Amino acid sequence: MNKRPALNVMVADDSATSRTYVRKNLMVAEIVVKDFVEAANGQLALELLREQPIDVLFVDIHMPVMNGIELIRQLEIEGIKPRVKIVVISSDHTLKRQDELKDLGVTRYVKKPFTPEQFSKLIDEMFCGG
């Protein structure tokens, strides 16, 4: 398997606990993170994504101000979506939600609670051809 690159990572989730949990899972999975950016809602995430290069966006669906679905739609409109890998992390496990995400072109969906092994597999699939 190819060596993993160091990544610029953003987590958009209104729960500070969830954002910390993502960071810890990345560390346990031995994923090298160059820059770790946090956003408490979709609007803040969008503003940050306009300004800084992000390789992977972990985004929750249910957030105030702008939810994850609205954020993904706006990233598409602004042409940002093609340059960032999006992983939805959510406790919303319904088939309807998964179908909605597929319609938006999002194929990476991790159910909360997640594990370091899931993150390791996702990063390898996205960046190492594995």
| Mean pLDDT to the nearest integer, 66-82 | 95
* CATH number at 8-123: 3.40.50.2300
Mean pLDDT of the chain: 92
Report how far residue 123's alpha carbon sits from residue 126's, in angstroms, rounded to the nearest whole number.
Answer: 5
For 19, phi then psi, to 5°, come to -65, -40
Q: Whole-model pTM?
A: 0.92
pLDDT in tens, 27-61: 999 999 999 999 999 999 999 999 999 999 999 99
pLDDT in tens, 8-25: 999 999 999 999 999 999
pLDDT in tens, 84-130: 999 999 887 788 888 888 889 887 888 888 899 999 999 999 988 76
Domain residue spans of the chain? 8-123
Report how far residue 29's alpha carbon sits from residue 121's, in angstroms, rounded to the nearest whole number.
Answer: 9
Report how far residue 104's alpha carbon sits from residue 101's, in angstroms, rounded to the nearest whole number.
Answer: 5
